[in-house]
Amino acid sequence: MRNKLFIAYRLLRSKEESRFISIVTLSSIIAISIGIAAVIIVLSVMNGFESEIHQRILQLNSHITISIKESASDSDDLIERLRQIDEIKKISQDYQAKGLIESNKKTSAVMVKSFNANLQMDDPMQRIKSNSIDRSELIIGEGLAQSMNLILGDRISLTIPSVSKKGKVSFSNNQTFEIKEILVYGLRQYDASLILINEEDAYELVKSNQFAKKISIDLFDIYQAKKISTMLRVMLDGEDYRISDWTVDNSVLFSAINIEKMTMSSLLFLIVIIAMFNVIVMLSMSIDSKKKEIAVLKTIGFNSLDISHIFFFQGMLNVLTGIFFGCLFGIITLLNLDQLERVLDYLFNLNLFPSGLYYIDSMPYLIKTKEIGIICSSAIILSMFACLIPSIKAGKQDPANITRFHNG
């Protein structure tokens, strides 16, 4: 085996090989490197965005939400039962409902939540400055404020529709509020619709709405949300409770992200597949140029399988070189994304991430070694098939015909 690898390496480094074959070999290595690097960079950046979205969503929402029907029994007993579950980290109560705000002859649909003093953002730019909200005050998202031309101190009318037992919709739950703070929540959907109000105001406005009262649950492990919510549905079987978790509430968004990741990675992996055709061409040309060497090896005792192994190893050495440099280039690029972004901005005045659109100052990325392993393993398996066909062809070369051809 060691002899075969050595011969494959010598063939790869042979100075007698034509300049054209050397160019084809180099181009196949570069193409594989570019393809691998592109897939790693794109997937890591998309992982970073997904992680950023997770954080932004969980800063504003609980991991599990139990909506309680107005006619349900006292929630204190339920909270005590929930405290017995080891996986639960924190339990809180609030009120939430959909409503309409009106100001400057403009109206907009909003999501109203009672203010929680524990709702604090990790990013200083997004931190809620207010420790409390007085009666008839509210906090509004920056996007909503801009769309309705609102500023601090403006007064707006908030209406919460209510539905009677007979199904009649009423808009009598109305109150005027003063804007205390305009906040950047960090996600466009919240900036454009979410408002926070005093808990007493929230109760007065939404008390006639079924399932407006919420019990918010935070877990030690956010990825246990689906398991715990399923367990709670069994424990609270009945029509008085509705249980949802953050993965279900945002399933459409995360499904879209996963589909986009799969689409982008598949398209970029086509570069690697095309590069494999270069490997086949390179190896076939190398075999044609090494017919004399094949004849000599067969004369001194190498069989067809040995010859096939030698050229197979030659092709795989090229592929592994390309994969190695692709991984190296991809990881180095990710570690220097901020510098790369500044260079692009300086040279081409290209602002990849406007703060007003993404609410981030730099491109996020998250390198997952498991994904890199899958990418490299897929490329290696694909290259093995690419190298196999020309290698078998090399092993079938007849030394008598080769010698006759060269003597002729």
Quick: pLDDT tens for 342-382. 777 777 776 655 555 455 666 788 889 999 999 899 889 98
Q: Would the pTM of this model clear 0.95, i.e. be above it? A: no
Q: Is residue 297 part of a domain?
A: yes
Q: What averages of pLDDT result for each successive group of 10 residues across the chain (408 residues)?
A: 60 58 80 90 88 76 79 70 85 82 85 69 49 81 86 87 65 81 76 83 72 79 86 78 81 80 83 82 79 74 79 86 93 87 72 55 82 90 87 74 50
The closest alpha carbon to 101, from 2, 194, 212, 6, belongs to 194
* Whole-number pLDDT of residue 326: 93
* Whole-number pLDDT of residue 126: 46
Q: Both tokens of residue 309?
A: 């192994």
* Whole-number pLDDT of residue 125: 39
- Could you please report the per-residue DSSP string of 181-223? EEE--SSHHHHTTEEEE-HHHHHHHHTTSTT-EEEEEEESSGG
* Whole-number pLDDT of residue 121: 47
In this structure, the answer to whether residues 50 and 94 fall within a common structural domain is no
| 3 state SS of 398 | coil
Q: Could you tell me the residue range of the domain that residue 21 belongs to?
A: 2-55+254-407
Please say which residue of 170, 204, 219 terminates a domain: 219
In this structure, the answer to whether residues 148 and 286 fall within a common structural domain is no
Is residue 202 classed exposed, middle or buried when 0-12, 13-18 and 19+ CB atoms within 10 A define those classes?
buried
Q: Is residue 249 part of a domain?
A: no
In this structure, the answer to whether residues 43 and 95 fall within a common structural domain is no
In this structure, the answer to whether residues 11 and 121 fall within a common structural domain is no
- Structurally, how many domains does the chain consist of? 2
* Whole-number pLDDT of residue 70: 63
In this structure, the answer to whether residues 42 and 162 fall within a common structural domain is no
pLDDT digits (tens, 9 = 90+) for 119-168: 544 443 345 565 668 888 888 888 888 888 888 888 988 888 776 566 66
Q: What is the spatial distance between Cα 374 and Cα 355, in angstroms, rounded to a whole number?
A: 34
Main-chain phi, psi angles of 343, to 5 degrees: -65, -45
In this structure, the answer to whether residues 307 and 356 fall within a common structural domain is yes
* Whole-number pLDDT of residue 128: 59
* Whole-number pLDDT of residue 130: 58
Check if the beta carbon of residue 215 is closer than 8 Å to that of residue 82: yes
Q: Is residue 362 part of a domain?
A: yes
